[in-house]
Structure 1
Amino acid sequence: MAKQERSERTLERLVVAAAEEFALHGFVRATLGGVSRTAGVTKGALFFHFPTKDDLADAVQKRGQDILETMLTDVTRAEKSCLQVLVDATHTLSGMLRSDPFIKAGVRIARERTAGSPVPADFYPLWLGRLGQLLETARKDGELAADVPDLSARTLVTAVVCGVETLAWMGVPEDESHQWLGCLWELVLPVVASADALPRLRTAAPVAASSGRGRAVRH
């Protein structure tokens, strides 16, 4: 049992170290030697658990996927409106792209892996796929405007996510990014939301709702 516990601790240290290395240096420039040094374990221990850099990247992306799924679950529990969940999730993602090494690493891995590399937990299709599911539910619940095609709604949401990621990549401060995102949602929501859903939607970050509902959409 003690040997198994040591192995599990070593595995965890390696995955955390890999996330830090990938987030800092990217998939291409990060090295297995750098991961082993950051984790404080031997290369032999690293190769025992992860024979290749792709194996390490898979583990980091899988952890990032779990973190994002947990975040979406928490946001969904806090809000009944799927469109509000979508807004809040993008605000939360904006912060995680700056603070969570697994999310930052997952994006860099997804960007830098060569074509044809195995991507069992690629950030982009997973994240955009989940947001697409929220839009599908919003459609069923009558939250989307009837004259807005599904593809148009997905296109707008994809553009929002890409903008959030770009601001994080540029090093724009988180508070400024939240302001930008709130203003963008003020433009997007009146286009995609139904007349009944729109007045209930908030565009500000979830933390802004701690003393109230934050800004409602202006229309």
Structure 2
Amino acid sequence: MTTQLRAEQTRATIIEAAADLFDRQGYRAASLSGIAGRAGVTKGALYFHFTSKEELALAVIERQDELSRRASEELLALNLPGFETVVRMTFEFAGRALSNPVTRAGVRLTLERLVPGSAARDSYGGWVEVAGRQLERAVVELDVRPTIDPPACAGFIIRTLTGMQLVSQASLPGRTLPQLVAEMWDVIIPGLLPPRRTPHYLDLVRTLAAEVDAAAQREG
């Protein structure tokens, strides 16, 4: 293994360990000593890659952004109907939030606004833009009412989704994140879609929620 490859792997390990502690403890409570211990590296090795907790937290947020962009690109490559793409995007996020601490920590760090330098980042702007374009497509495809404002609807959906990810970590017995996302769509779909398309997409929501829950149980 080359020195560069080892350095890249060490950096990735530190980011994953930091994400786990930021997710569990929050930005203020997590310490660089704890992150180093979690990663199995010395503090010297940690400081070689990251000079401060702020820099490390920003790296976690950046990694979350990267995962989101990649997932969006893969979903868009399927060339599904616009509204189906938006629905699947929300459940794809739910699946990552259940299985990937980087996703959970990135959302938490961004929403808490405790990391110096993170307030200027618009981590969800890309999601909103993609969802807005897909909703515009859905209007043309006659899946969504022509009276909606696609950018406003996209912003509402994405911000509601990220908020629910935090709510799902509270004490909600018997309620999983995919179930909460399904409930969101149960409320939103009748207002966005014409009656002839509503049953199809409500069925899709239930199917996706069950699939994501089942996948999470297998991985757990």
- TM-score bin, normalised by smaller chain: 0.7 to 0.9
* Normalised TM-score (structure 1): 0.77
Q: Distance in 1 between matches of 2:171 and 2:75?
A: 25
User: Which region of structure 1 is more displaced relative to structure 2, 175-184 or 41-50?
Assistant: 175-184
Q: Distance in 1 between matches of 2:133 and 2:174?
A: 27
Match of 1:204 in 2: 206
SS in 1 for 2:28: helix
| One-letter amino acid matched to 1:170 | A
Aligned length: 210
Match of 2:217 in 1: none
User: Which region of structure 1 is more displaced relative to structure 2, 186-195 or 55-64?
Assistant: 186-195
SS in 2 for 1:27: coil
Match of 1:35 in 2: 35
| One-letter amino acid matched to 1:74 | E
Contact 1:58 1:119 in 2 (8 A): no
Pair 166,51 (structure 1): closer, same or farther in 2 beyond 3 Å: closer
Is 2:89 the counterpart of 1:127?
A: no
* Normalised TM-score (structure 2): 0.77
> How far is the alpha carbon of 1:112 from its aligned partner?
2.8
Q: Distance in 1 between matches of 2:53 and 2:122?
A: 15
> How far is the alpha carbon of 1:110 from its aligned partner?
0.8
User: Which region of structure 1 is more displaced relative to structure 2, 179-188 or 63-72?
Assistant: 179-188
- Percent identical pairs in the alignment equals 26
Unaligned stretches of 5+ residues in structure 2: 213-220
| One-letter amino acid matched to 1:206 | L
Contact 2:143 2:194 in 1 (8 A): yes
Unaligned stretches of 5+ residues in structure 1: 211-219
Report 1:61-140 matches (<5 A).
61-78=61-78, 80-114=80-114, 117-118=117-118, 122-140=122-140
SS in 2 for 1:169: coil
> How far is the alpha carbon of 1:180 from its aligned partner?
3.8
Q: Distance in 1 between matches of 2:79 and 2:186?
A: 18
